Amino acid sequence: MKDTRDFLPFALPDIQDEEINAVVEVLKSGWITTGIKTKEFETLFAEFIENNDNRDLSANNYIKNHKIEAIAVNSATSGLHLALEACGVGRDDEVITTTLTFTATAETICYLGAHPIFVDIDKETLNMDINQIEQKITPKTKAIVPVHMAGLPCDMEQIIKIARKYNLKVIEDAAHALPSMLNNTLIGNHDSDAIVYSFYATKTITTGEGGMIVTRNKEIANRCRIMRLHGINKDAFDRYTSNKPSWYYEVVAPGFKYNLTDMASAIGICQLKKAYAFYNRRLEIAQRYFEELKNLPILLPKDVVNPNADIHSWHLFIIQLQTHTNRDEFIKYMSDNKIGTSVHFIPLHMQPYWKNRYHLKNEDYKTATAYYQQAVSIPIYTKMTNDDQSYIINTIKSFYTLGL
């Protein structure tokens, strides 16, 4: 069913005049690196998380006396690295995480000389199998890094319970999870040590490249701030804009270059204001996929665990092809009909480096292996029109009608 339309991408950022004008304003200001806009973005993001979407906070009174701190960074990868370092992860420590994630989740553990310990996934949620966590804990275990796959929240209450039992740190990889919610609590408001978000081009809000660390622990926040800019104990903006001579600074640790620019932060401020509008549109698209694809031999994703208390951000809409459908043929058919798709993810136990480095076997990760063999992510983004989605749905239906 060839079509004359332009290619429909798998994902597309939603950038409007507000973002463009905000960047122009920064360019004209004379200060384009980390400065006042980044501080504003951090403040607004912290307030966004702490306000919990202005929903009923009766179950979350424990957060009211704890000020959230947000630290902007140039990527979620950087954020994970800083958060792990600030939580004390070091050489030969072990960090438990899921095999079904992007390699950045595991590689940041290795940056510190530590070792990722992978667990299989839950078949229904695609998140890490909580029942496997305790059996992976050893005297070397230092932390757990859950990943909210596609935007469906992990069971943070159970994960944190296990972590506290063994005195482990919890750093959430929330790259997909804005504004995901578990039990009426926004991801970022649970009792984790740090939460890391991504603002990459395909995410639910974007700054092009960028990320944010959220924590209530002042020591972790201070360490992340110092380490994100060369281990210097004073930001460049403060040094160069002070009314009094303040050129002096001290290098207190061998840090990194992970700061976010004011140009990116200006985009982030605009995007954050639209976060729930973006979510509502993604939800509309997801709900239509559920309705239109329900009678096909396709396993649709888990939406939420508790419909009255949870939010799936719908960063991704992952289907699993059933029967003997050839995934490669499906992807090629979609591409031939000008529709982009992707696969999230090739599990890390199947990737050459991780497989060889840690002698990983497919049979030890049976659920993730089986999932990977039939998983496809289909387009979901806010600029998608109803007509675009109709075309995607009809193309999927035609694939099965033709018996491919």
Please report the domains of the chain, with CATH numbers, ordered by start residue: 17-273 (3.40.640.10), 275-401 (3.90.1150.10)
- Are 267 and 208 in contact, with CB atoms under 8 Å apart? yes
Dihedral (Cα; 175, 177, 182, 184), 10-degree rounding: 130
At 72 the three-state DSSP class reads strand
Q: 286 CB contacts (<8 Å, ≥6 apart)?
A: 303, 312, 314, 317, 380
* Residue 242 pLDDT: 56
Does residue 203 carry a catalytic annotation? Answer: yes
At 342 the three-state DSSP class reads strand
Say what the pTM is: 0.94
Q: What is the mean pLDDT of each run of 10 residues along the chain (404 residues)?
A: 77 98 97 95 97 56 64 98 98 98 98 98 98 98 98 98 98 98 96 98 98 98 96 69 70 96 98 98 98 97 91 98 89 97 98 98 98 97 98 97 74
Distances in whole angstroms, Cα of residue 65 to Cα of each of 44, 45, 93: 18, 18, 33
* Residue 305 pLDDT: 81
The one catalytic residue in 37, 142, 169, 203 is 203
Secondary structure element (H or E) that encloses residue 389, with its range: helix 386-401
Quote the Cα angle for 240-246-251, to 5°. Answer: 90
Q: How many residues does the chain have?
A: 404
* Residue 321 pLDDT: 96
Q: Measured between alpha carbons, how far is 128 from 339 in angstroms, rounded to an integer? A: 30
Secondary structure element (H or E) that encloses residue 121, with its range: none
Q: Measured between alpha carbons, how far is 116 from 349 in angstroms, rounded to an integer? A: 11
* Residue 251 pLDDT: 93
Q: Measured between alpha carbons, how far is 174 from 196 in angstroms, rounded to an integer? A: 5
Distances in whole angstroms, Cα of residue 296 to Cα of each of 10, 97, 219, 314, 394: 21, 33, 52, 21, 12
* Residue 57 pLDDT: 40
Tally of CB atoms within 10 A around 276: 14
Which residues make beta-bridge pairs with 214?
70, 195
